[in-house]
Structure 1
């Protein structure tokens, strides 16, 4: 037993020494002895030059050597930005979430939310481009929804932030894209005879995305689906709402979906 404990103690010391060598500056590390301010300044310089990998390494060294203070906190955000620009969205989101969790009252919280929204917005580009191509069946709108929710949180919490205006504009863009996606799914169900699912998707659009341009089409989808289901009372009630708000609607014409008119610009 004594031998086992001795071996365990020696192993622990060895691991500690290895860890110390891994985290501390080596003899030939040019950053050895640099202050937190120096590391931060050089990291920003590499960032401005587009050398994101080098910038990340400098910010990581800063956090490891000086884990407390304003430079360490800000370096978390700078690292996230570098990862975002370096096409590493998952790492960027992880860094932002860590910053938000550990610094809930930080004065740069509005920027953290804005950056998180941008990362998800960028990740949603495949989904958004599919909206224009009218082929969204294999696209996942999760990133677009996450981006919308984050921008919404930013605008609600920090209405006077310098990022609020751009966040609001992006929210409007995402809202239209997500509403179009709901119409696409509803149409998919309708064309395959799943009329209840189509009606429910149209209803969900109205409840989730009020006051969007797709409201007219959602109401029409519900009218046609209820008609196919023989739910005449629901059909007539929904049709009255549709005609009251859109007296000149053409959304109930037989060839409406075939003409691709479900998909609206936004």
Structure 2
């Protein structure tokens, strides 16, 4: 029996040793095989072909003019990477941002304009960089029922154009888009104010409508805001403020249906529109333009 076990140990022990010997040999063969495969890899495929900055830039412009926006963006990026300190690199940043904006890649566009502004705040294309930033945010403005951070960002960028570069060709359009953005923010406040008014939370509603009158006095929403203030103050029994709101409404929008409705509401309680010297409404009235004046 012992002889049998020895025979088995010899047999399996020998097999085990043979297996252990074969493993490193197989590994060596595998490594050799990998090495021979690596010899076939063209490393140049992973390296940019360096081309002159002006050549790359003109290729990018050609792609842009032909509507090949992704290719244009790649070429502008190549200029920036391969020739980072050249004049073409500076221009490529802002033109690459424009290509991305046109392609609907707004985040990429903003990243490039922000980089341009950080590196070249006083260069000729800075106004355009701010303008593209504003456009990228502007295109993402949602309806008034949703959160309005994109609206605020677009206004901030367009304000930079107006304030920093008053003689820029982009000022007029920036002003128009600021007006739209402010009207949008006022619309959002009105939407929230109406929500509170419908639920008879008059104090919260007044806060929103007052914000429209004080902060967005040159928007089209002021007219309704004054009427809603008349309604909310009247419901609370604060009749002097209800009368003051209706008076300001009548002074600025005498033919408005909102004024007619407010007048009728006050009449139902034996009241009429009346100015109040101590009311915040009298102070705010001077700034009301109802959207007739620009930014």
TM-score, length basis structure 2:
0.68
Give, in angstroms, the shift of residue 28 of structure 1. 5.3
The corresponding residue for 1:45 is 62
Counterpart pick for 2:245 among 238, 244, 263: 238
The corresponding residue for 1:19 is none
**Aligned equivalents of 1:246, 1:74: Cα separation in 2:** 50
**Aligned equivalents of 2:135, 2:219: Cα separation in 1:** 23
Matched, 1:122 2:139: yes
Give, in angstroms, the shift of residue 82 of structure 1. 1.7
Give, in angstroms, the shift of residue 240 of structure 1. 2.7
Matched, 1:83 2:90: no
* Equivalent residue pairs, number: 223
Counterpart pick for 2:91 among 74, 86, 99: 74
**SS of equivalent to 1:27:** helix
The corresponding residue for 1:110 is 127
The corresponding residue for 1:55 is 72
Of stretches 211-220 and 177-186 in structure 1, the one that deviates more from structure 2 is 177-186
The answer (yes or no) to whether the contact 2:217–2:291 under 8 Å persists in 1 is no
Matched, 1:170 2:177: yes
**Aligned equivalents of 1:152, 1:63: Cα separation in 2:** 28
TM-score, length basis structure 1:
0.75
**Aligned equivalents of 2:48, 2:196: Cα separation in 1:** 61
Counterpart pick for 2:147 among 140, 153, 176: 140
**Aligned equivalents of 1:45, 1:31: Cα separation in 2:** 20
Give, in angstroms, the shift of residue 40 of structure 1. 1.0
Q: Which aligned runs of 4 or more in structure 1 are off by greater than 6 angstroms?
A: none
Counterpart pick for 1:101 among 101, 104, 118: 118
The answer (yes or no) to whether the contact 2:50–2:82 under 8 Å persists in 1 is no
After superposition, the Cα gap between the structure-2 partners of 1:53 and 1:248, relative to the gap in structure 1 and judged at 3 Å, is closer
Gaps of 5+ in 1: 1-25, 128-135, 257-263
**SS of equivalent to 2:157:** helix
